[in-house]
C-alpha cells in the first residue's frame, strides 16, 4: 500500500481520543500552529505533527503498555529526536 493510502486508512480508523484531539488541533485552532494527522516522517506515521515547531503528539492505546511496544516507541522517539522532533505521548484514556 502506498504511503498516502495508508495515511488515509489510519485517519479513517481514528480512535475516539484522536478524534477529540484533532477537533482541538485542526485549522490552526491551537496557537495558530498547523498540525497534520498521520504525517509520514521516515518510515513512521506521526499521529499529530506540527512541522514548523518540530513537534509530535501521540495518542497511545493500550498496546503501548506492553514491553515490546514500549521498546519500539523508544526507538521511534530516538529517531524523531535525531530529526529534531519533540514527542509527547498521552494515553487514549
pLDDT digits over 1-13, tens only? 777 787 788 778 8
- The hierarchical CATH code for the domain 3-91 is 3.40.960.10
Question: For position 84, what pLDDT does the model report?
Answer: 95
Which among 15, 12, 73 has a CA at the least distance from the CA of 44? 73
Tell me the three state secondary structure of residue 20. Answer: helix
Q: How confident is the model at residue 71 (pLDDT cuts 50, 70, 90)?
A: confident
Determine the Cα–Cα distance for residues 59 and 18; give it in Å rounded to an integer.
Answer: 6
Amino acid at each position: 500500500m502506498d504511503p498516502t493510502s495508508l495515511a488515509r486508512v489510519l485517519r479513517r480508523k481514528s480512535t475516539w481520543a484522536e478524534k477529540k484531539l484533532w477537533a482541538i488541533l485542526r485549522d490552526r485552532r491551537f496557537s495558530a500552529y498547523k498540525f497534520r494527522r498521520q504525517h509520514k516522517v521516515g518510515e513512521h506515521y506521526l499521529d499529530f505533527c506540527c512541522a514548523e515547531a518540530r513537534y509530535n503528539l501521540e495518542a497511545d492505546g493500550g498496546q503501548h503498555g506492553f514491553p515490546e511496544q514500549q521498546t519500539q516507541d523508544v526507538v521511534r522517539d530516538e529517531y524523531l529526536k535525531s530529526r529534531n522532533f519533540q514527542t509527547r505521548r498521552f494515553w487514549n484514556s
